[in-house]
């Protein structure tokens, strides 16, 4: 794999991780997510 592809892959992974972290800082999102998961059971 080329170096540029690897850099883009790592940058994309970092963006996804930052987006997930940003969602976890919002308590209302966590409550909604927990309710949706609990509704499956």
Tell me the pLDDT tens digit for each residue of 1-41.
Answer: 789 899 999 999 999 999 989 988 888 988 998 999 999 98
**What local confidence, expressed as pLDDT, does residue 10 receive?**
96
In which domain, by residue range, is 31 found?
3-39
Longest dimension (CA), the chain: 45
Number of domains in the chain: 1
d(CA 24, CA 26): 5
């Amino acid at each position: 794999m080329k170096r540029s592809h690897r850099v883009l892959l790592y940058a994309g992974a970092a963006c996804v991780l930052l987006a997930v972290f940003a969602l976890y800082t919002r308590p209302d999102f966590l409550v909604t997510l927990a309710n949706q998961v609990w509704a499956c059971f």
